Amino acid sequence: MIKKEMIAMLLAGGQGSRLGVLTEKVAKPAVAFGGKYRIIDFPLSNCINSGIDTVGVLTQYQPLRLNTHIGIGIPWDLDRNVGGVTVLPPYEKSTSSEWYSGTANAIYQNMAYMETYNPDYVLILSGDHIYKMDYEVMLDYHKANNADVTIACMPVPIEEASRFGVMITDGNGKITDFEEKPEHPRSNLASMGIYIFSWPALKESLNALKDQPGCDFGKHILPYCKDNDKRLFAYEFNGYWKDVGTLGSYWEANMELIDIIPEFNLYEEFWKIYTKGDVIRPQYVSADAIVERSIVGEGSEIYGEIHNSVIGADVTIEKGAVIRDSIIMRHSQIGAGTTVDKAIIAENVKVGDNVVMGVGEEAPNVLKPKIYSFGLVTVGENAVIPDNVKIGKNVCIAGVTTAEDYPNGELPSGGAIVEKDGE
């Protein structure tokens, strides 16, 4: 009989709507990060580095990019005879067919997958955080406490704790109470959305709450476990962990990688991060180029200037272009003489010549002021920006745009061009 001590279930179905046009065509876990990676590479690499070789990836929203990225799991050594990586989309059943309505509901719908492996423990992960973590150490902690559920937590400044699910523990790490996004947090231990369940406890609570609409771990499963006297423990994690849920935090996390010795260090031999690299050739930096305080992905051709930026693979920066404080993802092209300041440019974007991007005073975005803020210019994938236009701050652009979309050759701060996208 097949037996795996612990399997991982990776929730990768979310849209991540706060990333705006970046996640219009791809699920958030498939968004590029750090010049080479995609967000899901971090939990997947953590799994294989922790000795977990059976991972179910639950997909729902725009899964194409995610599916092609994961494939049969070769980059993470998750191509296995028994176990390995399995992509688990929602499916039709004989009596019903429903989407994944919540995090726990998604896991419930894949009960059969989990049962195949007879696990003692199930690790629940989400595909939208940047961190390195040894889940095996967490499992040891879980076992030592004879716990039913262990929740990875991170101490955060108390003033920020109200953004998270907060755990209140006794002196031994046992969770006595928890609060979801409390106004006045009683603790600074924030849940990282990483859980280890003992299999009987998980199975029991999923079955008990199977009719709960939108069944969610934080809102339903954990309260159920607590009310039924399960042993819940908080596992304190003190390493680097970054939620890249907003454009601001996504931009910040990328920028942190270019520090001289970054807090999140990708250059250590230990705990490598794996990814599917379609580009392996070296990058070229021309005689006129200036590249400083930046990271640049494979196969990029740099003829212009780059300062404080994260450049993906196979990007072309033409002569005279100046890139500052920006993220440019793979296969994108920046035209000659173009200036880019504080922008996030997604994959396969074409920016014309002599464009000025990210200038002027900030103004709130006309479409979604809460999403497109931080003074960033955000350009969705496959977008085209014509020559000689001026683009302000807090702006979002998606789809093929032409000179007519820019009255007087300008898209002022707070502007948005997205409706063209459906064409």
* Span interacting with another protein, options 59-67, 145-153, 260-268, 393-401, rule CB under 8 A: 260-268
Q: How many residues bind another protein (CB under 8 A)?
A: 38
Of 382, 410, 409, nearest to 395 (Cα)? 410
Per-residue DSSP letters for 84-100?
EEEEE---B-SS-B---
DSSP 197: E
Q: In the set 254, 275, 365, 394, which binds another protein (CB under 8 A)?
A: 275
104 binds another protein (CB under 8 A): no
Window 18 to 47, contacts with another protein (CB under 8 A): 34-36
Please choose, from the candidates 317, 348, 318, the residue with its C-alpha nearest in 3D space to the C-alpha of residue 330: 348
Give min distance, CB of 292 to another protein, in A.
Answer: 6
* CA separation for the pair 189, 216 (Å, rounded): 20
Angle, CA of 369, 373 and 374, to the nearest 5°: 160
Phi and psi dihedrals of 199, rounded to 5? -55, -45
* Range in contact with another protein (rule: CB under 8 A) among 20-28, 225-233, 298-306, 358-366: 298-306
User: Considering only residues 94, 172, 267, 423, which one is a binding residue for another protein as defined by CB under 8 A?
Assistant: 267
Q: Smallest distance from the beta carbon of 44 to another protein, in angstroms?
A: 12
* Least CB distance to another protein at residue 274 (A): 5
Q: Quote the CA–CA distance of 159 and 270 in Å, as a whole number.
A: 34
Q: Please, which residue, 109 or 294, has the CB nearer to another protein? A: 294
Residue 168 or 266 having the CB closest to another protein: 266
237 contributes a contact to another protein by CB under 8 A: no
* Shortest Å, Cβ 38 to another protein: 13
Q: Which of 82, 158, 174, 284 touches another protein (CB under 8 A)?
A: 284
Task: Give the one residue of 297, 304, 386, 414 binding another protein; rule: CB under 8 A.
Answer: 297
- For position 53 contacting another protein by CB under 8 A, the verdict is no
Of the candidates 58, 63, 83, the residue with the CA atom closest to the CA atom of residue 73 = 83
Q: Is 289 in the site for another protein (CB under 8 A)?
A: yes
Of the candidate residues 163, 174, 181, 293, the single one contacting another protein (CB under 8 A): 293
Q: Rounded to whole angstroms, how far apart are CA atoms 197 and 289?
A: 53
Which is closer to another protein, CB of 160 or CB of 292? 292
Burial class (CB in 10 A: 0-12, 13-18, 19+), 254: buried
Per CB under 8 A, does 258 bind another protein? yes
3-state secondary structure of 212: coil
Binding pattern for the stretch 156-175 against another protein, x by CB under 8 A and - elsewhere: --------------------
* Contact code string over 369-398 relative to another protein, x by CB under 8 A: ------------------------------
Per CB under 8 A, the segment of 107-115, 132-140, 144-152, 273-281 that binds another protein is 273-281
The least CB distance from residue 123 to another protein, in Å, is: 23
Q: Looking at residues 308 to 367 of the shown chain, list those that interact with another protein (rule: CB under 8 A).
A: 310-311, 313
Helices marked H in 32-121:
41-49, 64-70, 103-108, 111-116
Cα 191 to Cα 26, 107, 152, 179, distances in angstroms:
26, 19, 6, 10
Q: CB-hemisphere CA count at 13 Å for 189? A: 21
- The amino acid present at 346, given as its one-letter code, is A
Q: How far apart are alpha carbons 330 and 301 in whole angstroms?
A: 11
Q: Applying CB under 8 A, does 290 fall inside the site for another protein?
A: yes
Q: Pick from 46, 198, 294, 394: which binds another protein (CB under 8 A)?
A: 294
User: Taking the alpha carbons of 238, 244, 247, 253 in that order, is the dihedral positive or negative?
Assistant: positive
Q: Which of residues 63-92 bind another protein (CB under 8 A)?
A: 74-75
Binding-site member from 68, 228, 286, 402 for another protein (CB under 8 A): 286
CA gap 44, 38 in Å, rounded: 10
The DSSP output letter for 319 is T
d(CA 358, CA 373): 12
Of 30 and 257, CB closest to another protein: 257
Q: Which stretch binds another protein (CB under 8 A): 51-59, 235-243, 246-254, 304-312?
A: 304-312
Q: State the greatest distance between any 2 C-alpha atoms of the chain, in Å, as a whole number.
A: 70
* CB contact at 8 A, 242 and 253: yes
Instruction: Quote the tokens at residue 64.
Output: 């194409």
Closer Cβ to another protein, 245 or 262, answer by number: 262
Residues forming the site for another protein (CB under 8 A): 34-36, 74-75, 258, 260, 266-267, 272-275, 277, 280-287, 289-299, 301, 306, 310-311, 313
